[in-house]
Structure 1
Amino acid sequence: MPTQEQPAPQKRLFLANDKVRVAIDLNAGGAITYLSEAGSSENMVNNSDLGRQLQTSIYAGPIPYSINGKQPVYEWRNLGWNPVQTGDWYNHPSQIISYQQGQNTLYVKSVPLIWPLNQEPADCIFEHWLELKDNTVHVRCRISVNRVDTTHYEARTQEMPCVYLNGPYYRMVSYVGSKPFTNDAVSEFTDGGSWYYRYSSEHWTALLNDKGRGVGLFRPGEVRFGTAKFGPERTGGEFDFASGYMNTQPFFLFDHNGQYEYDYTLVVGSLTDIRQYVYSQPRPLTRPEFRFTNSRLGWYYTNTHDAGWPIRNELNVRWERDSLQKSRFRITSPMTVWQASEMRKLYIQAAFQTKATSARLVWLKPEEHFEIEEDPGRYVDFPIIGDGQYRTYELDMSQFGGWNGIISQIALTSPETQYAYEKGSTVRIRSITATPP
C-alpha cells in the first residue's frame, strides 16, 4: 500500500466583511479551505485530506488512467483522468502559477494534480475568481485543457464544485419538488454513508447544522446536485474525518483542447437566508433555446461523438454508434427545468446525412429516472431527409399525452429499425428551440 506524506503547512489568503470570512490556501491549489460567519472562530470547511475543501474536481477517460509509468492508487483506479484543484492522494499540493488579492476579490491560477497518481501534474489549468459580497462568496472557474491524448471520451458527472463541511453540517436540505420558486416546502435528508443524487429544481442545495445554519450552494440553471455524509459522527473539526458533502454533478464532456467556464455562489447563513438569495437572482429560461454558435451549451453524447473543439456554429455529430456492442447512441441535453406548457412546439434546425428516414426525440420527466429511457409515451419518431441539407424540423409536442408538467431532459437518437443505415451517417445541428429559429 503506498504511503501518504504530511500535508504542507497552510498558506492562506483571507477576505472578510461584517458577515463572512473566507480564505483560499496557496498550499492547497488555491482551493477554499476556510469559511466562517463573521465573529465566529469556527471554520466550517473540512480539510482532513487534499480531496476535501471547496474545490473543482473533473473527470474524463481513460479508466484507469496511468502515465509516465505511474499507476493509480488501487482504491481510486476507477476515477480515470481526475485533475483535482487541491492536490493528490499522496498529499502533494497542486502548483500555483499566479495569484492576486484585492479588497473583496481573490484570483488564483493553478496546475491541478491527478488525484490517484503520485505527484503527476494534470494536462490542464484551473483559474478561479472569488468575490465576497454580503453573506455570499461568488466563484467563477475557467478550465483550460491541453491533453496530448486526443481520444473522444464520453461525458461523465463532475464535481463542479464539491463542498466538504465538518461533521456538524450533516443536514442536507434542498427543494426537490415540482413547483419551484413558489415557496413550496423544502425537503431534508439526514441519510449517511452513500452518495445521493437530487433533482433540485430551484438550483440549490444546503448543508446545515442543528441550529439551522450553514452553507447553501447555488448554481444557476443546474439541477443535478449530489449530497452525502462521511462518518457516523455529527461532531468534529476541520481535520476530522466526519464530513457533510454536496456538489453540483452535471454530465460534462471535456475535449483534449477545450476551454470551459462555470460559476457558483456560496450563501452563508440560515435556510431563509439561502432561499432568499436564490429567489433574488435572475431565473433561467423554462424552455429550450439552444443555439450552438461556439459552445455545446451542456449537451453531451453517449456512444457517439462530434468533430471536437472548437464549436463553430453547429454541432457536427456522428449519427451512428461508436461501439456496435452498445444498442444506443444519443445526443443529450443538460438536465434542467422546462415547462411543457411553454414548449408546445420544438424546432430542430439540422442537416442529416444518412440513409435513415426518421429520427427519435426522447424526453425525461424528473420523477421517473435519473437517466433517459425510451419508455412508451416518452418519445416520438419524426421523418427526416438525409441529403445533408439544413432544414427546420417542427415537432408539434402538444399532441403527445406524455408531454406535460416538467420536462427535465431531451435527447436525439435513431430508432432501432434504422440502425442498418447508420454507417457513415452524420447530423449537423445549429439549434434546438421552443421558438422558430
Structure 2
Amino acid sequence: MQQMNGRAFLRVSLLVVVAGWLAGCGDEITTVFPAPVLPNGGFPPPPAPVLPPPQRIFLENAQVKLGIDLNAGGAITYLTDGPTGENMVNNYDLGRQLQTSLYSGPVPYEVNGKKPHPSWPGLGWNPVQTGDVHNNPAQVVTHRKDSTNRLYVKTVPLIWPLLNEPADCQMEHWLELKGNVVHVRSRTQLTRRDTAQYQARTQEAPCVYLNGTHYRMVAYTGDKPFTNDALFEFNTAHPITDRYTTENWAALVNKAGRGIGIYRRNEFRFISAFFGATGIGGERDGDTGYLTAAPFNVMDHNTVYEFEYDIVVGSVEQIRQFAYTQQRPATGPNFQFVTDRQGWHYANTRDAGWPIRNELSVQWGRSDITLDNFAVKSPKVFWRAADVKRLQFEAAFTTPATTARLNWRKPGDVEFKTLTNPGFDFLIVGDGQFRTYTVDMTKVPGWEGIITQIQLEATPGAPRPANERTGRLRLRRVTQ
C-alpha cells in the first residue's frame, strides 16, 4: 500500500457543524444550517431502533457480495469484501446505509401540517432514499434484476425530518457489478408544487456509512495528483470535515487497509466524519465512519438530477489504481451550458430555472439587497494557473455597469469572502448583446499556483439598476 502521509496539501477546515450519534444521511453538512439538536449532545447514543426486517436482493461474484433492501428504499445495505466477508455497511437506523440524500429549501420545511422533528429543525427539503428519522422506510415503486450482475430500483423517498412524508420526487438507481467495482447511476425527477428556486445546497451524492471497524479515511489531497504521491489519512474520531480530493476519490478502510472507495469523476469535494469509538462495532451499532461526495447544486422544482459513481471494494492501492484507469479530470475550463448548469451555482441570486437551453440566464443583481453582493460560482476544480493562460466568457450583460469582477479560490481558502486577493475587474458592455470576453490571465496579479474555483460577481461600487432584478447575465460558455 502507498505510504500514508498525515500532512495534507491544504489546511482542512473543520466545519462548525458537530453532528451527533443519530447522524443519518439526512445530516446537515454545511455551515448554512444548524446542527441536529440531540439530548446530551447525542452521547451516548440510544439503543438501535427497531427496523423493518430486511428484504434483500443480491448481486455477487468471487470478489464482492452486494445487497439492496426493498424495506429500506432499495438502498445498498449489504456489501462484503469477498463473497463470505462481514457486511461493511452500517444499518443503525434508516438514515445510514449507502444511498442518495438531496437538499433544497425552504428552511424549515413544513407540509401537510407536519413540522420537522425537534432534532432536525434546519434541514429543509431533504428526500432520503431509505426513509425518515422515525425509521419509516421509503416506498420501492418497482425493481428488477436484469441479469446476474445488474439491478434496477425506483423509489419514492421520504422527507428525513418529517413523519412518514413522501417526497415530491422519484429516485431511480441502476447498479452493475463488474469484478470488485459496482457502477451506480442515479437519477432523481423532482415534481415539486413549490416552484420557488432556492439557494444551492450541498448534496450527498452518494453518502456512505460503514461500521466502526472502517475508521481510516484515506484520500489524496495534494498538488501532484495521479503521480502516486503520498496519501492523506485521518484515522481518529472527527466531526464533519471538508476534503479537497484532487484524484476524485476517497476511501474508508479497516485496520488492514481494506474497505471501499467512492470514485466520482471531476468531483473534488468530499466530506468525511467518524462518530463513536474507532475500530469496533457491527452494522447495528452506532459507531460509524461517514463519507460523501458533496457537490453544490441548485434543485429546481422540476429538475432531473443525475450523477454516476463507482464503489470500489478492496485495498487502498486497488481503489487508487481504479481511479488511475479512468478518464482524467479537466485541467482547465470547458463549460458549455447546453442542457445543464455543469455544476455552476449561485449566491444571493438565481437563474431562469430548469430546463437549461443553451445558456444560463442569471439575474445580475442581488436577491437580498441587504447583503453586499451576489456571485455566479463554478464547481470545485483543480487547475494549475500556469496552464490556464486565458479565460473566455461568451456572455451578454444587461447592466449599467461597465466592468464585472472575476475572482478565484486557492487551496486553504475557506470561502470567497475570506480571500486576500482582490480579484480582477474586466470591461463589459451592458447592452444585452452576446460577446466573447477574453481575459489574459498571464497579466492578472495573483493568478498563480492551484486554482480550486472561480466566480463572477459585480464590481464593488459599480452602478446598479434601480431594480436589481432587471439586471441579467446570459452565459453560454466558459472556456480558455
TM-score by length of 1: 0.96
* Matched residue type, 1:74: P
* Matched residue type, 1:410: I
Partner of residue 13 from structure 1, selected from 57, 72, 89:
57
1:137 and 2:182 are equivalent in the alignment: yes
CA contact (8 A) 2:66 2:80 kept: yes
CA contact (8 A) 2:60 2:83 kept: no
User: How has the CA–CA distance of structure 1 residues 93 and 284 changed in structure 2, closer, same or farther, with 3 Å as cutoff?
Assistant: same
Deviation at 1:190, TM superposition (A): 1.7
User: How has the CA–CA distance of structure 1 residues 211 and 374 changed in structure 2, closer, same or farther, with 3 Å as cutoff?
Assistant: closer
1:90-141 per-position Cα deviation (integer Å, ceiling 9, x unaligned): 1111111111102101000000000010000000110000010111111110
Partner of residue 202 from structure 2, selected from 157, 180, 185:
157
Structure 1 stretches of 4+ moved >4 Å? none
Structure 2: gaps (5+ residues): 1-37, 39-45
CA contact (8 A) 1:167 1:236 kept: yes
Aligned to 2:10: none
Distance 2:55 2:422 in 1: 53
Partner of residue 358 from structure 1, selected from 370, 385, 403:
403
Partner of residue 287 from structure 1, selected from 315, 327, 332:
332
1:429 and 2:447 are equivalent in the alignment: no
Partner of residue 343 from structure 2, selected from 273, 276, 298:
298
Aligned to 2:450: 406
Deviation at 1:374, TM superposition (A): 6.7
Deviation at 1:419, TM superposition (A): 5.1
1:345 and 2:421 are equivalent in the alignment: no
Deviation at 1:400, TM superposition (A): 2.2
Deviation at 1:5, TM superposition (A): 7.2
Q: Secondary structure at the match of 1:341?
A: helix
Aligned to 1:81: 125
Distance 2:245 2:115 in 1: 37
1:106 and 2:172 are equivalent in the alignment: no
Deviation at 1:252, TM superposition (A): 0.9
Distance 2:197 2:299 in 1: 9
Q: Secondary structure at the match of 1:420?
A: coil
Distance 1:311 1:351 in 2: 16
CA contact (8 A) 1:377 1:400 kept: no
May I ask how many residue pairs the two structures share in their alignment?
A: 433
Q: Cα RMSD between the aligned structures?
A: 1.6
Distance 1:385 1:268 in 2: 53
Distance 1:248 1:126 in 2: 17
Distance 2:314 2:264 in 1: 17
Distance 2:463 2:159 in 1: 39
1:163-199 per-position Cα deviation (integer Å, ceiling 9, x unaligned): 0000010011110101110111001002314111100
CA contact (8 A) 2:409 2:419 kept: no
1:37-95 per-position Cα deviation (integer Å, ceiling 9, x unaligned): 22433000000000000000000001111100001101111111000000001111111
Aligned to 1:310: 355
1:260 and 2:305 are equivalent in the alignment: yes
Distance 1:36 1:326 in 2: 50
Partner of residue 380 from structure 1, selected from 424, 445, 454:
424
1:33 and 2:77 are equivalent in the alignment: yes
Partner of residue 420 from structure 1, selected from 464, 472, 479:
464
Aligned to 1:190: 235
TM-score by length of 2: 0.88
User: How has the CA–CA distance of structure 1 residues 99 and 43 changed in structure 2, closer, same or farther, with 3 Å as cutoff?
Assistant: same
- Percent identical residues: 52
Distance 1:39 1:426 in 2: 57
1:339-376 per-position Cα deviation (integer Å, ceiling 9, x unaligned): 2222101100000011111100101112x313223734
